[in-house]
Amino acid sequence: DEAVRLNRRAAEWFLNEGLIEEAVPYALDSGDQAWALSIIEAALPEVMLRGDVLTPTFDRWVQGIPRQELERRPWAALPLAFARALSGKVGEAAVLANCVEDVLEGTTPVADDLTEAEKAHQRGVLGLVRAYVARFQGDPEGALSLADGAAALLPKDDSTQPWLRLFRQLVLHDAWAPNREAELREATSNCFEKGHPAAANALQVLDFYRLALCGRLNEAGEHLERALKRAYERNALPSAGMLHGVAAELHYQRGDLDEAEEEAQRCLSLGAPGSGAGLFFPPEASLVLIQHADGRIEEARYSLHLLQERVKEVETVQGLLFFPALVAHLHLLLGFPTPAEQWAASSMLSADTEPTFALEYPCMVFARVLVASGRTEEAIQLVRRVAEGAHASGRHGRALEAEVIEACALWRDGDERSAAIVFGRLLPLAERERYVRVILNEGEPAFALLRKSAMSGAHASYALRLLLAAGADGGEPRPHRAGRPDELSDREVDVLRLLVLGSSNREIAQDLVVSLDTVKTHLRNVYAKLDVHSRTQAVRIARQRELV
């Protein structure tokens, strides 16, 4: 009884201070669920603007409200339904939407009467929720029809309009309508101008994903730097976490493993999903890739376990296609083919599958499983169709990945000449956009093709750089020269000591009161003097030689 009383006092204190969101958990624990719901209603507008509806904290809010309370309050149930739809929890969204529809149809009594204007608004938002559910359940045409109906009911200045813009772009993306960057960026600017940073950040993630698919990594990196700056200027947290998830993938693809890991951890710490719409990899998946590339296989296995736990909750059609393929791909990469083979056997895919846009990534993973099981000819035919379709639609980045798989499969099959021709075809884009991991992840066949390219040709220096990176990223480090501790400056020793303690680059910068760029410069010097290429190897050598 005393705990209940104290929780209510705490909630009241926060409310009196104007801290509505801080009051919610105490109100939920006070036992007065109707009162707690009224506080959540007051907090919802700001929470929606920032994108907090995608965080675990918001999940706890929703789970704390009894369903019977929500059924009587459509003005609270509807935003919650919309939030669940945004995060891909379409089953919960559909149930809540049904509750609202019963109220609007008069079959369920409500706590307070609604005006006709309020009912019209509720019907408009309800249409948008239904549109999201339809989209996530694989009905894009029905989704667009519902969205258009919702737009007709909602005034142009309605707070839901930015989410309508985001939704339309998502559905158009599903159908891969090319050359939409200008429209995407106009919608992003409009959302920022109208004070909706969460919707703006989600639109930017979609923009970056399109750029990556098109093989325009340099452009994506330039835009991303500006996007992160603007997100923090507008205090657009936690939705800025999605941008850090994108940054993790871009750094990883470039082979910048330390920066990639920092960005993935930042994404996780902000609580925003890296892949709410099934676009970029979740941060847990990025960590698997980074840790694998850095030779930390046990850590990678644990990160894969966390990812598998997370994707169990996925209800969307996109998630049901994308995430199982992703998990299978990561198992293959870590050297555990059996789970990947089990996925392939149950996936309904075959060597004859038509690789539509939604199936391109699963088809490439399926082709990798075919190669691993010795069925290289079938794999080659499948990835060729992926590459042809992707090139025809301007997705040259996706085609590049398919061509890497094809070249390596041809090499495994003994057709070294054809493999070299395919590999030579993809190298200009790979060098221009500074791809690293998409090639190195294919293992020994890719290394063999790189060695052949490094011997001659216009891309010899690029091939050599990748071979050097391959030597640094996998297995045991190369033999080290017998360096002396006094080769490191005092400040470099400080940096190395913090590295051994597990500090991130940002934490090192804070501890030493220097800029992040200065830390990176010191790390480059440390790596060069120790003849290593990653923090894991630097830590190992520092301990072996007792440098710190």
Region 280-286: mean pLDDT is 82
pLDDT at 484 over 60: no
Say how many Å lie between the first and final Cα of the chain, rounded.
55
CA distance 36 to 27: 5
Question: What single string gives the DSSP state of each residue in 269-314?
Answer: HHT--TTTTS-SPPHHHHHHHHHHHTT-HHHHHHHHHHHHHHHTT-
How would residue 164 be classed by pLDDT, with cut points 50, 70 and 90?
Answer: confident
* CA atoms of 542 and 313, how far apart (whole Å): 42
445 prior amide bond cis, ω within 30: no
- pLDDT reported for residue 274: 43
pLDDT at 473: 42
Which tokens hold the place of 213?
């698919």
What is the structure's pLDDT at 103? 78
477 pLDDT tier (thresholds 50, 70, 90): very low
- 215 is written with which tokens? 């093989």
Name the pLDDT band for 481 (thresholds 50, 70, 90). very low
Mean per-residue pLDDT of the chain:
84
Task: State pLDDT tens for residues 377-415.
Answer: 999 999 999 999 999 999 999 999 999 999 999 999 999
Q: What is the mean pLDDT of residues 222-245?
A: 84
pLDDT score of 13 more than 60: yes
Which has the higher per-residue pLDDT, 474 or 177? 177
Average pLDDT rounded to a whole number, residues 525-545? 81
Tokens coding 255: 């082979």
Query: Which residues fall within 8 angstroms of residue 411, CB to CB, at 6 or more apart?
Result: 419, 445, 448, 449
DSSP state for residue 352 in the 8-state scheme: T
Q: Rounded to whole angstroms, how far apart are CA atoms 57 and 70?
A: 18
- Residue 445: the pLDDT is 94
pLDDT at position 51, please?
A: 65
Q: What tens digit of pLDDT does each residue of 181-201 get? A: 888 888 888 888 877 887 888
Q: Is the pLDDT at 367 greater than 90, yes or no?
A: yes
DSSP 108: S
Higher-scoring residue by pLDDT: 236, 283: 283
What's the CA gap between 452 and 454, in Å, rounded?
Answer: 5
pLDDT for 380: 97
Mean pLDDT of 502-513: 83
Judged against a pLDDT cut of 90, whether residue 430 lies above it is answered with yes
Are 285 and 330 spatial neighbours (Cβ–Cβ below 8 Å)?
Answer: yes
Per-residue pLDDT, averaged over 137-162, amounts to 80
Higher pLDDT, 245 or 482: 245
Residue 387: closest CA among 412, 370, 406, 372: 406
Q: What is the pLDDT of residue 56?
A: 67
Other CB atoms within a 10 A radius of the CB of residue 366 amount to 27
pLDDT exceeds 80 at position 317: no
Give how far the C-alpha of residue 522 lies from the chain's centroid of Cα atoms, to the nearest Å: 30
- Segment 118-140 shows an average pLDDT of 81
Tell me the C-alpha distance between 154 and 157, whole Å. 8
What is the dihedral angle through the alpha carbons of 381, 384, 389, 392, rounded to the nearest 10 degrees?
-140
Asked whether the predicted pLDDT for residue 273 surpasses 70, the reply is no
Mean pLDDT of 1-24: 92
Q: What is the pLDDT of residue 535?
A: 80
Confidence (pLDDT) at 478:
38
Contact yes or no for 255/439 (Cβ under 8 A): no
| For residues 100-114, average pLDDT | 74
Is pLDDT above 80 for 111? no
